[in-house]
Amino acid sequence: MSEPVLAVEALHVAYGPIKAVRGCTLRLDAGETVAVVGANGAGKTTLLRALSNLLPHESGSVRYLGAPTERAGPHELARRGLFHIPEGRGTLGRLEVRENLRIAYDVRPADRSFEAALERVFERFPRLRERHDQLAGTLSGGEQQMLALARALINPPRVLLVDEPSLGLAPALVEEAFAVLGEFHAEGIAILLVEQNVYSALRLAQRGYVLRQGEIVMEGPSAKLLADAEMLKHYLG
């Protein structure tokens, strides 16, 4: 078996006084889409924030592309291709749309010029072309989600961590966001998707983990998890 791109072993993370992640072990293979689902407060966001080293780990290990990540800052992981779209999309609202994209493009050396990369992004997200010189804070929620995804597309990462892309979006926009993630998958980007929207997430992913009170209580191929509706319902409360 080849080395996973992201390997998490018995990870414990405290969020303030709360032990939010308790001994999680999970893996993400190259090119795979994996969903981590769970109820509100199950520890999903804490898990992702710990994976990109925004939060310190109490114990356990995280390996990205075979190397331990414990000494790296979040920006170093981003530069190595571990890209995290945070909860709430991380829009830099007082910067222009184009500047948001420029920062994401600058994250690491790219194989095409900014203009060419921008053109490719605008082809996929024509709305962003129309609004390229607006402050990103003036975009609608759906457009901000597109911007968040576009920032990943402009300089494609190896691994994409996505926190709750459906949050606060109308169903049609959720569908669009998931469609874009599907395209990222087709391009070979490994995706770790954290979602409360269990069914959409598991339909997109090949495998899934169910997180409950900081522990992984179910795991397996998405189809198998979806088939066990009774159990899923029980854990998701």
Residues near another protein (CB under 8 A): 52, 54, 73-75, 78-79, 83-86, 90-95, 99, 102-104, 106-108, 151
For residues 21 and 48, which CB has a smaller minimum distance to another protein in the complex?
48
Helices (H), 187-228: 198-204, 222-227
- As measured in angstroms, the least distance from the Cβ of 222 to another protein is 27
- As measured in angstroms, the least distance from the Cβ of 50 to another protein is 13
- As measured in angstroms, the least distance from the Cβ of 199 to another protein is 28
In the DSSP assignment, the letter for residue 175 is H
Q: How far apart are CA 186 and CA 74, in angstroms?
A: 26
For residues 15 and 219, which CB has a smaller minimum distance to another protein in the complex?
15
For residues 90 and 142, which CB has a smaller minimum distance to another protein in the complex?
90
For 76, residues 6+ apart whose C-beta sits below 8 A from its C-beta are none
- As measured in angstroms, the least distance from the Cβ of 149 to another protein is 14
For residues 106 and 130, which CB has a smaller minimum distance to another protein in the complex?
106
| C-alpha distances in Å from residue 150, one per residue of 8, 39, 52, 105, 167 | 27, 28, 19, 10, 17
Q: Kindly report the CA angle at 163 between 161 and 165, in degrees rounded to 5?
A: 115
For residues 155 and 200, which CB has a smaller minimum distance to another protein in the complex?
155
- As measured in angstroms, the least distance from the Cβ of 102 to another protein is 7
**Residue 123 burial (C-beta neighbours within 10 Å; 0-12, 13-18, 19+):** exposed
